[in-house]
């Protein structure tokens, strides 16, 4: 034990809570099999740590101490509640009987539990909307109000999704474990999809007063790093590389007043070169496995942009080729739209506009504001101002994010 003065202990505990509380919570969830009981036990363990460590010093393995203390706190809680619910007595007996099994808790097992919790929250039996809410609440530690604000949903709605998700885990007996290899592909897809959804909402908010939510994109990257460190799958590496490169442009993407700055107009000296280098290495490692998928291809597309000194020097032919690959793996109207924009940059606005018109005529992106904005921009470049104005007006009707709306209104003022 190491003696510390009370103020140092409190500062140490506060920092430990900020950095390690979700790891400790994940282990308690596995040991106790109950989210709410684990949350309560974790907070009691941290409160106990302040008192104990001031008197006895900080233990050599604080995380293991907190897990062990939290488990005993939970047993005490269950025993107090037995008189109201006799079924809890069996749980207390089981936890007591498992004492030897959990006596030695090392950091590696605690770290593994975070991955178990991610896979549990993202189990395919749980609705996708609940997967996102559960992951942000239980794995990331975001408050219900923060999650609701991020996705423009009321706190009671988010709270209900979380409760239903927990109930599904309990009623279906979903285990707190990383799936076996045969089940890994389908389960990993759910995890990656949730992380990517969280990142996208942070990178480009679907609506609201700001263009981005840094807290969400940083949480997604943190989850991505955790996933890669514990499970170095090619697509996990590809997704992390994609997020790092996209996030590297954050400082250049908006003006001081919050207005959007398009990629072609960004000051590339503001791009975070360290994040780009780390992301590029992740992407290359993923490509080298030859077992990559859609996230790695999207990451490779982002890397081509990141490597170019300017929009004019971008290798648009390579981008069109990568979009062709992406379209074969995951054909979707949005992929075709992005490919059309790349074709416009390679072959001219007329060629790109023909492809965009074809996509819009199919009706698949009729309510997607970026499709109309893309058409408007190409028409503007061709001097077809009447068509450009009509498309910008349609995009403005559909846009929900205020910085995007201001950008579209600015384009309309220029054309009028």
More confidently predicted of 197 and 305: 305
Q: Is the pLDDT of residue 1 over 70?
A: no
* Structural domain contains residue 409: yes
Q: Is the pLDDT of residue 246 over 90?
A: yes
Question: Average pLDDT for residues 210-236, to the nearest whole number?
Answer: 83
Would you state the pLDDT for residue 393? 96
Question: Average pLDDT for residues 218-233, to the nearest whole number?
Answer: 86
* Structural domain contains residue 393: yes
What is the pLDDT confidence band of residue 103, given thresholds at 50, 70 and 90?
Answer: very low
Distance CA 162, CA 144 (A): 9
Q: What is the 3-state secondary structure (H, E, C) of the chain?
A: CECCCHHHHHHHHHHHHHHHHHHHHHHHHHHHCCHHHHHHHHHHHHHHHHHHHHHHCECCCHHHHHHHHHHHHHHHHHHHHCCCCCHHHHHHHHHHHCCCCCCCCCHHHHHHHHHHHHHHHCCCCCCHHHHHHHHHHHHCCCCHHHHHHHCCCCHHHHHHHHHHHHHHHHHHCCCCCCCCHHHHHHHHHHHHHHHHHHHHHHHCCCCECCCCCHHHHHHHHHHHHHHHHHCCCHHHHHHHHHHHHHHCCHHHHECCCCCECCHHHCCHHHCCHHHHHHHHHHHHHHHHHCCCCHHHHHHHHHHHHHHCCCCCCCCHHHHHHHHHHHHHHCCCHHHHHHHHHHHHHHHCHHHHHHHHHHHHHCCCCCCCHHHHHHHHHHHHHCCCHHHHHHHHHHHHHHCCEHHHHHHHHHHHHHHC
Would you state the pLDDT for residue 411? 95
Question: Which span out of 62-66, 84-88, 152-156, 222-226 was modeled with the highest average pLDDT?
Answer: 62-66
Mean model confidence pLDDT for the chain: 87
* Structural domain contains residue 82: yes
Would you state the pLDDT for residue 116? 86
Would you state the pLDDT for residue 34? 86
Helices 234-247 & 214-230, crossing angle to 10 degrees? Answer: 150
Residue that finishes a domain, picked among 90, 105, 120: 105
* Residue numbers of the domain that contains 17: 6-105
* Structural domain contains residue 342: yes
Would you state the pLDDT for residue 112? 67
Q: Is the pLDDT of residue 16 over 60?
A: yes
Q: What proportion of the chain, given as a percentage, has pLDDT over 90?
A: 53
Q: Is residue 223 a contact partner of residue 139, using CB atoms and an 8 Å limit?
A: yes
* Entry pTM: 0.75
Distance CA 111, CA 114 (A): 6
| Nearest Cα residue to 22 out of 142, 103, 191 | 142
Q: Is residue 127 a contact partner of residue 83, using CB atoms and an 8 Å limit?
A: no
Q: Is the pLDDT of residue 98 over 60?
A: no
Q: Is the pLDDT of residue 141 over 60?
A: yes
| Nearest Cα residue to 192 out of 115, 282, 108 | 115
Residue that finishes a domain, picked among 89, 105, 121: 105
CATH number at residue 381: 1.25.40.10
- Please write the tens of the pLDDT for every residue from 365-391: 999 999 999 999 999 999 999 999 999
- Please write the tens of the pLDDT for every residue from 247-282: 999 999 988 888 889 999 999 999 999 999 999 999
* Structural domain contains residue 297: no
* Structural domain contains residue 12: yes
More confidently predicted of 182 and 324: 324
Q: What proportion of the chain, given as a percentage, has pLDDT over 70?
A: 88
Would you state the pLDDT for residue 4? 61
Q: Is the pLDDT of residue 102 over 50?
A: no
Kindly report the number of other CB atoms within 10 A of residue 180's CB atom: 8
Q: Is the pLDDT of residue 59 over 80?
A: yes
Would you state the pLDDT for residue 256? 84
Structure tokens at 218: 């940083």
With 0-12 / 13-18 / 19 or more C-beta atoms within 10 angstroms meaning exposed / middle / buried, residue 102 is middle
Q: Is the pLDDT of residue 211 over 60?
A: no
Q: Which residues contact 396 (CB under 8 A, 6 or more apart)?
A: 369, 405, 408, 409, 412
- Please write the tens of the pLDDT for every residue from 324-338: 999 999 999 999 999
Would you state the pLDDT for residue 110? 53
Q: How many domains does the chain have?
A: 2
Residue that finishes a domain, picked among 105, 140, 161: 105
Q: Is the pLDDT of residue 181 over 80?
A: no
Q: Is the pLDDT of residue 160 over 90?
A: yes
CATH number at residue 96: 1.10.1740
* Structural domain contains residue 233: no
Would you state the pLDDT for residue 128? 85
More confidently predicted of 77 and 409: 409
* Structural domain contains residue 101: yes
Would you state the pLDDT for residue 220? 87
What is the pLDDT confidence band of residue 19, given thresholds at 50, 70 and 90?
Answer: confident
Distance CA 280, CA 237 (A): 10
């Amino acid at each position: 034990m190491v003696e510390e003065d009370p103020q140092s202990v409190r500062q140490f505990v506060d920092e430990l809570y900020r950095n390690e509380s979700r790891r400790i919570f994940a282990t308690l969830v596995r040991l106790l099999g109950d989210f709410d009981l684990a949350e309560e036990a974790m907070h009691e363990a941290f409160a106990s740590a302040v008192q104990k460590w001031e008197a006895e010093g900080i233990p050599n393995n604080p995380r293991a101490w907190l897990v062990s203390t939290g488990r005993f706190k939970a047993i005490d809680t269950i025993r107090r509640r037995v008189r109201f619910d006799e079924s809890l007595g069996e749980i207390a007996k089981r936890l007591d009987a498992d004492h030897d099994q959990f006596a030695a808790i090392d950091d590696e097992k605690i770290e593994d539990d975070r991955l178990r919790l991610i896979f549990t929250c993202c189990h395919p039996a749980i609705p996708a909307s609940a997967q996102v809410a559960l992951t942000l609440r239980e794995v990331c530690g975001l408050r219900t109000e923060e999650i609701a604000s991020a996705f423009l949903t009321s706190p009671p709605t988010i709270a209900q999704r979380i409760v239903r998700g927990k109930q599904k885990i309990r009623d279906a007996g979903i285990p707190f474990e990383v799936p076996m290899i045969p089940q890994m592909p389908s389960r990993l897809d759910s995890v990656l999809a949730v992380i990517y959804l969280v990142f996208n909402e942070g990178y480009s908010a679907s609506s609201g007063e700001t263009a981005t939510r840094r807290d969400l994109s940083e949480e997604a990257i943190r989850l991505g790093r955790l996933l890669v460190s514990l499970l170095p799958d090619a697509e996990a590496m590809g997704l992390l590389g994609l997020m790092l490169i996209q996030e590297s442009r954050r400082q250049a993407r908006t003006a001081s007043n919050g207005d959007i700055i398009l990629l072609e107009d960004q000051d590339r000296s503001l791009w975070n070169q360290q994040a780009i280098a780390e992301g590029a290495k992740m992407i290359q490692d993923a490509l080298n496995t030859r077992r990559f998928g859609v996230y790695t291809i999207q990451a490779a597309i982002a890397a081509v942009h990141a490597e170019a000194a300017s929009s004019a020097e971008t290798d648009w032919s390579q981008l069109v080729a990568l979009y062709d690959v992406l379209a074969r793996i995951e054909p979707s109207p949005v992929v075709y739209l992005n490919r059309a924009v790349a074709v416009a940059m390679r072959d001219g606005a007329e060629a790109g506009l023909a492809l965009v018109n074809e996509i819009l005529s199919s009706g698949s992106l009729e309510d997607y504001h970026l499709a109309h904005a893309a058409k408007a921009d190409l028409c503007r470049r061709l001097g077809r101002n009447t068509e450009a104005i009509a498309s910008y007006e349609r995009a403005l009707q559909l846009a929900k994010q205020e910085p995007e709306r201001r950008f579209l209104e600015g384009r309309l003022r220029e054309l009028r």
